[in-house]
Structure 1
Amino acid sequence: MAHPGFFQRQASARRNTSLLVFLFLTAVVLITLAVCLVGYFTTRSETSGQPFQYWLVSSHGLITAATVVVLIGMGSLIRWVDLAGGGSRVAKMVGARPIDPDTRDGDERKLRNIVEEMAIASGVPVPELYIMDNETGINAFVAGYTPGSAVMVVTHGAITQLTRDELQGVVGHEFSHIFNGDMRLNVRLIALLSGILMIGQIGSFLLHASFYSGGRTTARNRDGRAQALMGFLGIALFVIGYVGVFFGRLIQAAVSRQRETLADASSVQFTRNPDGIGGALFKIGLRSSYLDTTGHANDMNHMCFGESARMKFTALLASHPPIEQRINAIQPGLLARLKSRLRDTEPGDDLRSATAGPRPAGTSGFAGSSSIQTLSESVGTISSKGEDFAIHLLQRLPSTFRNLLYTRAGAIQLCYAMLISELAEHTQAERLGLLRNHSLFGAQPDLLAKLLPTLQGLGEAVRFPALELAMPALRKLDPDERAELAENVRLLVDADNRVTLFELALTSFLSRHLGAEAGRVTPVRYRRYNAVMPALQRLLSLMARAGARDNRDAGALYLEAIAGFANRGNHDFPILAKVTMRELQETLTALNGLSPLLKPAVIDACGHCITYDSVIDVREYELMRLVADQLDCPMPPMTV
């Protein structure tokens, strides 16, 4: 069976989100009815024994039902708002600390290098990295709402007990969750289950309160009756709430197991090294993946690489298939091979040398297809060429240049340097003179002197990868600082009264990932192309003119590209002579509202334009990556 593609997995994640919301609402209705039933028996004497269905629509019943719905809604809403900060908020919730990009710790540098290689190879901004210092178990998770705002959290046990290949397998597994849209689903699950848990927590509170008050008021019959009633309500609500949580976690676990199996398979596809993720899982089986230092282990169970909490009814509530089953699903016979290696290891040897094993011959770390026929097929994938490109690029970057990208000042100056690197020195000075003096946002000649030679020496192909490496530092800017950077970039772009393809790509990239809407999920607004035809007209007009040699060729190329979308005839949407930057941004915002299954055709139509002359230059591909990025479709770098 063919491995599902990026767009199919995105559509599946959205369907799962809708299903979970439906099941959550169903659970709310059932819990409300159960609590109303308790209320009915509690007040039956006051309501003359009327049937339940009549009591339910009485003032008592309606007030009870409304109270339950409000309590559940408040519980979910409070957690939802708490998690609105995205992945960084989840990381802080479990007590993880950010890893300094310039860390000197060998294990942390190993993790950072693996993540950077995979990010560059896949075309996504480098995720922010966090570590749970006090967790000895082997585990990891990603959190966030969009690929561009993802954070990755790894336990100390994972980076110290796993070999590079094994850690690469875990990182590949987590990147699969980034590509597949699982992060958004996982964060929302935490909020939804918190609401259901609210009823059980109230029941627990009433139960404790009844016992506490009983110690002081047993001499009074009236107080004794109140105590008994409070205890009965507490027990009833406690049981109802936690039965609801049980079934909620049952649904959560079923969905999670399916997606964990898919992520395991994707990791093997990315790394082309089943021994990597297989060895990591094998070590979890020998040791542990539990999170013992956070009170949120149960909440995080469905998000983690391995089980994070010890649970009863493990066969039903486990968010992951059994370890042996996961290893055997990766490759038949892999478990026996790993066990054999362990037996052959001398006592006292580090297990990491026993389970790493050699890579299959002819592989470089990440999988890839040498026969990708359309650009949409490359979205959300990592090829061996892309990984080789990433490794080679990182090796060629001078350490001074690379370390500057990890600082706010260096990342800001990088944006300026990319806009002036191809200009003559006197013109560079004129452009930088447009910026106002500022300790952070003003031109800093000493930093630019370290950035410009590398940009000029490595050429255009280094620009977007360098920007992706700088994204963790740029995300540290507060909203006012982000606005200041955007204004300065716009000032440099407008200096010559024209906009190049790269300038268009850079400003749009920064707007998407640092603007007010950064990190927010774009809901599906369109399930047909008809509603976005003006947007397609603008986009394909720009792409056709970028890919053609002259106006005549551009017109013919445009007609070919638009033909698959215009149902009423191509003449209704003629090629446009000019598309402004603002129009392009509005266009890409509109197209991002398409259903995931409609986006591949847009990517391929743009790809048809830039491959028209059988040559793709760097600037054309940068524009292509801009389109894909704005549609939340990570595209690997150009490797040829």
Structure 2
Amino acid sequence: MAHPGFFQRQAHARRNTSLLVFLFLTAVAFITLAVCLVGYLVTRSESSGLAFHHWLLSNHGLLTGATVVVLIGLGSLLRWIDLAGGGSRVAKMVGARPIDPDTRDSDERKLRNIVEEMAIASGVPVPELYVMEQETGINAFVAGYTANEAVMVVTHGAITQLSRDELQGVVAHEFSHIFNGDMRLNVRLIALLAGILMIGQIGGFLLRASFYRGHRVGRSRDGRAQAAMGIIGLALFVIGYVGVFFGRLIQAAVSRQREMLADASSVQFTRNPEGIAGALFKIGLKGGYLDTTSHASDMNHMCFGESARMKFTSLLASHPPIDERINAIQPGMLARLRSRLRDTEPGADLYRGSGPAPVAGASRFTGAASEILRPVTGKGARTSPLASRADQTDKPARKFSDQVGTINRQSEDFALRFLSRLPATFRNLLYTRAGAVQLCYAMLISELSREQQVQRLTLLPSHPVLGSQPDLLEKLLPALKTIGEGVRFPALELAMPALRKLDPEERETLITNVQKLVAADNRVSLFELALTSFLSRHLGAEADRVVPVRYKSFRPVLPALQRLLSLLARAGATSQPDAEALYREAMAGFMDARNGTQPVLEKVTMRQLREALTALNGLSPLLKPAVIDACGHCITHDGKVETREYELMRLVADQMDCPMPPLMV
């Protein structure tokens, strides 16, 4: 069984969302019936001996059921609204603080460097980083509704106790959750569980109220009412927490397989099984529980390892046992890690992980994740993982779509070279709001003469952050010339955390200013289109909105495909006949033989292209690979990828929410 690709995992995440809603509604139905049963027993004398199913349809029954559904819905809705702020709201909920981009703390800088390398190598904006300063356990999670506004939260224990390779394994695991659409599911799961918990909270309140009033009034005529309130409160308390028990079961069922997939992806991204295995081993030794937040159990399914202590661990755990995860990464890995610990720390407590240790070299986990990892570890899995890492070479992806949502050796090398070439002053400026804004302006005027640059910048209204700042531009423009135009998008990805700190009005003003600079010469280059589209997609009013699936076949989007592939065919060909032939090849997989292929369009306006990409983003995830591959076929037609072709390809991938590693220009 091959490792499922980006598009298959995206489709699976959408199916999981539907499954989650179904399971939640089922839990609500059972809880409602249970509360109605309590109401039936309490009002039995008033209901003239009606059977339960008849009582359900009476005024009492309907009112009770409706009240329960409204309370659960209200609990979920309130938490849903509370978490509308996305990843940053979740980070603040658990008491994490943002990591300053130019932090002087060596451990925090190590984390930032790893995250930036991985973001650039995979073609996604750099997530905002947070640290839980008081947490000594080893854990991490990502949160948000889309990759545009993802945040990564890491405990202090993780950044101080893990080596660079181990921390890289954890970061790669979390990047997999960003790619796969797991973050959105995780945040929704917190909200749904909050609704189920509402009934138990009301029961607890009634119990405390009856106990308090009983002490205040003693023996009075209200005694029976207090007793009834206490009984109802106890029943609701029990029912509520039975609901939570089943909610945790749902949480575990949805989460376990995704954790194994993320472990597998981490090995693929880093090509170093020992990194993530070592991190898991240290969690087994030292623990990963979140002890300083009351939301530890809410976050359990989101974290790298178990974040909350609970009974019935084998049933309710959101992650497979650590020993299973380690040996699924590579058979015998756990025995080697134990042996290494025994050699370096004689007499150490070898393992405090979950469950009994398996026989050395044998994995108790024989499910999908073990199969998923087989192509990564290969037949030589029992040899030294360091040797296997050195022997592994990345085979070039046969299709462009195979590269989406991945990190390969070439893209990793590109990221390392890019970051090493950035002057320190330039890089530090991208961490500030003003510097990130000026970068957007600098990329549009860097090829102009000095006089033209000054003239263009006069179009921008004065503003302390969003206006032209010549002193910052003087530091950015020379560096852009030195680095070259092929790395403009990676620089933008590096600046995204700072740009996301702009408030909505400032974001709108930035996009307007960029459009003014683009329109100044009455023509729009491919890069200018790509830049304005990138900023609108990641900073616009709908940047955090998840695009729903609108089309499950290519037929409704054929006009959009014709426009996109006409533009790409003309960009990838040197003559009109070549463009016609290339266009026919690219469209062959989408057109019905009876309809034939329309001729290549002579002109595609920027507005038409943007509308076409918006339509194509509404395709089902399983249909998008064909579009990406057709575009890739056009730009590699002549055996090389020019800068303008890369920028066009990057525009297509970005607007279709398909993170693509940098191409070799």
| TM value normalised by structure 1 | 0.96
The aligned counterpart of 2:282 is 283
Which of the residues 369, 386, 390 maps onto 1:360? 386
CA drift at 1:148: 1.9
- In the alignment, the residues of structure 1 paired with residue 649 and residue 66 of structure 2 have an alpha-carbon distance, to the nearest angstrom, of 51
Match of 1:229 in 2: 228
Partner of 2:425: 400
**166-175 vs 232-241, greater mean Cα deviation:** 232-241
Q: Residues 87 and 340 (structure 1 numbering): CA distance in 2 closer, same or farther, change over 3 Å?
A: same
- CA distances 1:444-489 after superposition (whole Å, capped 9, x unpaired): 1211111111111121122011000000000000111111111111
Q: In structure 1, what is the Cα distance between the partners aligned to 2:163 and 2:312?
A: 33
1:258 is aligned to: 257
Q: Is 2:47 the partner of 1:47?
A: yes
Question: Contact 1:364/1:384 (CA < 8 Å) preserved in 2?
Answer: no
Structure 1 residue 383: Cα displacement = 0.4
Using the TM superposition, name which of 231-240 and 570-579 deviates more. Answer: 570-579
**Where does residue 495 of structure 2 map in the other structure?**
470
| 1:618–1:638 contact (8 Å) kept in structure 2 | no
In 2, Cα distance between the equivalents of 1:278 and 1:571? 54
Query: 1:111: which partner in 2?
Result: 111
Structure 1 CA distance for aligned equivalents of residues 418 and 79 of structure 2: 42
Give the whole-Å Cα distance in 2 for the aligned partners of 1:552 and 1:415. Answer: 38
Cα 1:34/1:199, change in 2 over 3 Å: same
Runs (5+) with no aligned partner, structure 2:
351-383
Distance 1:183 1:387 in 2: 24
1:35 maps to which residue? 35
Cα distance in 2 for residues equivalent to 1:487 and 1:141: 35
Per the alignment, residue 569 of structure 2 pairs with 544
Percentage identity across paired residues of the two chains: 77
Contact 1:368 1:383 in 2 (8 A): no
Aligned partner of 1:169 in structure 2 is 169
- Check conservation: 1:559, 1:570, Cα contact below 8 A: no
Between the aligned partners of 1:199 and 1:115, the Cα distance in structure 2 is 41
Q: Find the partner of 1:490 among 509, 515, 539.
A: 515
| 3-state SS in 2 of match to 1:152 | strand
Q: Distance in 2 between matches of 1:309 and 1:573?
A: 59
Q: CA offset at residue 359 of structure 1?
A: 7.1
**Count, aligned residues:** 632
SS in 1 for 2:261: helix
Identify the range of structure 1 (211-220 vs 239-248) with the bigger mean alpha-carbon deviation: 211-220
C-alpha distance in structure 2 between counterparts of 1:577 and 1:224, whole Å:
86
CA deviation vs aligned residue, 1:72-125 (integer Å, no higher than 9, x gap): 000011111111111011001001011111111100000000000000000000
> Which residue of 2 is the match for residue 160 of structure 1?
160
Shift of 1:347: 6.3
CA distance in 2, matches of 1:582, 1:104: 45
Match of 1:216 in 2: 216
Q: Which amino acid is 2:299 matched to?
A: M
For residues 234-633 of structure 1, the aligned pairs below 5 Å read: 234-346=233-345, 360-361=386-387, 363=389, 369-567=394-592, 569=594, 573-633=598-658
> What is residue 661 of structure 2 aligned with on the other side?
636
- Once the two structures are TM-superposed, the CA of residue 404 in structure 1 deviates from its matched residue by 0.4
Deviation at 1:593, TM superposition (A): 1.3
Residue in structure 2 matched with residue 355 of structure 1 by the alignment: none
d(CA) in 2 for partners of 1:408, 1:570: 52
* Per-residue deviation, 1:346: 4.6
Provide the rounded CA distance (Å) in 2 between the counterparts of 1:322 and 1:608. Answer: 44
Q: Distance in 2 between matches of 1:324 and 1:296?
A: 26
Compute the displacement of 1:564 (Å): 1.4
Distance 1:442 1:71 in 2: 49
CA contact (8 A) 1:162 1:280 kept: yes
Cα distance in 1 for partners of 2:451, 2:602 equals 34
| TM-score normalised by length of structure 2 | 0.92
> In the superposition, relative to structure 1, how do residues 419 and 348 fare at CA in structure 2: closer, same or farther (>3 Å)?
farther
Q: How big is the shift at 1:586?
A: 2.1
| CA distance in 2: counterparts of 1:252 and 1:635, whole angstroms | 31
Instruction: Write the distance in 1 (CA, Å) between the matches of 2:198 and 2:402.
Output: 44
Summarize the alignment of residues 36-115 of structure 1 with structure 2, pairs less than 5 Å apart.
36-115=36-115
Distance in 2, Cα, partners of 1:418 & 1:601: 32
CA RMSD of aligned residues (A): 1.8
CA contact (8 A) 1:150 1:178 kept: yes
Whether 1:192 and 2:192 are equivalent positions in the alignment is: yes
2:3 match: secondary structure: coil
**Cα distance in 2 for residues equivalent to 1:570 and 1:585:** 26
3-state DSSP of counterpart to 2:34: helix
Task: State the 1:44 CA deviation.
Answer: 1.2
Say whether the 8 Å CA contact 1:408–1:477 is kept in structure 2. yes
Which stretch has the larger CA shift, 525-534 or 403-412?
525-534
How far apart are 1:629 and its partner, in Å?
1.1
How many angstroms does 1:577 deviate by? 2.6
- What's the CA shift for 1:583? 2.4
Which amino acid is 1:504 matched to? Answer: L
Map 1:2-41 onto structure 2 (within 5 A).
Answer: 2-41=2-41
CA distance in 2, matches of 1:273, 1:110: 18
1:372 and 1:568 map into 2 onto residues whose CA distance is 29
Q: Deviations over 1:581-609 (max 9, x none)?
A: 22222222221111110110111111111
- How far off is 1:348 after superposition? 11
- Match of 1:309, as an amino acid? A
Distance, in Å, in 2 between the alignment partners of 1:463 and 1:153 is 27
Structure 1 distance, partners of 2:390, 2:137, is: 29
